[in-house]
């Protein structure tokens, strides 16, 4: 019995890795992913940082937070609409893959992409601004948890019934852009009005930003444990929504 469980686990892992490998090979260098996952957060960061009398080292958590949000959630929304447009989505649904294999494959490819791209602003912050995390172990855990959360968000957005890539990316930005402006990316949560903090508490990015600022030595607004638990809860919610959407589509075929 144990051997059978191990065999099924390894088979599921191989299928998930096959989906993730396919996504990485096809979608990492697609123009929408590069534009919205790399260039967009960089220029948005420049637009809000240039001309402000702020120590550049204090802006590094903001750049990291935006990079995590946009890179981790840029691959997912592109996958399903692109495959529907190319006529390969139906083929994916007919091969022996469960909805969980597809969802975890999307999350895995988004996670790796987000982690790789994040190394660029992190290296920039360490080498040029001497902005080093005070708690390296906690910082790594925060980064991993946040990338998983927003990769799951991307997988949930990928499951929406959009047949055009432009519509999918537009809807993704409709979700992500408000997060940037209400989550304490450019202004710490402790410096915004009470009503703003109430709105910020709805956004998962707020907890990522609060943890990132704390890891770089700033005061945390939320409890660290609370932030980690809420990010975990959002991750599970996004994964469940992605699974339900893929399962409903699969039933049609």
| pLDDT greater at residue 135 or residue 30 | 135
> Would you say residue 14 has pLDDT above 90?
no
pLDDT of 160 = 67
What's the Cα-to-Cα distance from 66 to each of 20, 175, 246, rounded to whole Å?
23, 13, 28
Mean pLDDT of the chain: 83
Average pLDDT over residues 52-75: 83
Q: Output the pLDDT for position 147.
A: 95
Q: What one-character DSSP code corresponds to residue 35?
A: I
Identify the band that residue 232 occupies on the pLDDT scale cut at 50, 70 and 90.
Answer: very high
The 10s digit of each residue's pLDDT in 106-144 is: 899 999 999 999 998 888 888 887 888 889 999 999 999
Domain boundaries, the chain: 2-252
**Token couple for 47:** 């637009």
pLDDT of res. 169:
79
DSSP letter string over 177-222? HHHHHHTTSSS-GGGS-HHHHHHHTT-HHHHHHHHHHHHTTPPPSS
pLDDT tens-place string over residues 179-202: 988 888 888 888 888 888 899 999
State yes or no: pLDDT of 211 exceeds 90: yes
pTM of the predicted model as reported, rounded to 2 decimal places? 0.89
Percent of the chain scored above 70 by pLDDT? 88
Among 194, 186, 22, 13, which residue's Cα sits nearest to residue 91? 22
Q: How far apart are CA 47 and CA 178, in angstroms?
A: 16
CB proximity list for 90: less than 8 A, separation 6 or greater: 253
Mean local confidence (pLDDT), 148-177: 81
């Amino acid at each position: 019995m144990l051997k059978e469980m191990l065999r099924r686990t390894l088979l599921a892992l191989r299928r998930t890795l096959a989906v993730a490998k396919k996504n990485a090979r096809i979608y990492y260098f697609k123009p929408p992913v590069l534009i919205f996952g790399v260039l967009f957060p960089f220029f948005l960061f420049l637009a809000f940082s240039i001309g402000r009398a702020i120590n550049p080292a204090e802006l590094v958590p903001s750049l990291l937070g935006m990079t995590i949000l946009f890179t981790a959630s840029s691959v997912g929304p592109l996958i399903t609409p692109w495959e529907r447009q190319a006529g390969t989505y139906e083929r994916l649904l007919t091969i022996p893959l469960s909805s969980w294999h597809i969802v975890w494959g999307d999350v895995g490819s988004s996670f790796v992409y987000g982690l790789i791209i994040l190394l660029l602003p992190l290296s920039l912050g360490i080498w040029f601004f001497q902005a080093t995390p005070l708690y390296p172990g906690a910082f790594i855990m925060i980064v991993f948890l946040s990338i998983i959360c927003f990769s799951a968000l991307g997988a949930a957005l990928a499951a929406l019934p959009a047949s055009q890539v432009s519509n999918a990316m537009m809807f993704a930005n409709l979700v992500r852009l408000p997060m940037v402006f209400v989550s304490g990316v450019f202004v710490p949560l402790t410096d915004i009005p009470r009503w703003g903090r109430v709105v910020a508490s709805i956004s998962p990015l707020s907890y990522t930003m609060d943890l990132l600022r704390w890891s770089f030595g700033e005061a945390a607004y939320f409890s660290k444990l609370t932030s980690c638990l809420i990010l975990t809860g959002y991750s599970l919610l996004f994964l469940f929504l992605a699974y339900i959407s893929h399962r409903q589509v699969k039933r049609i075929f």
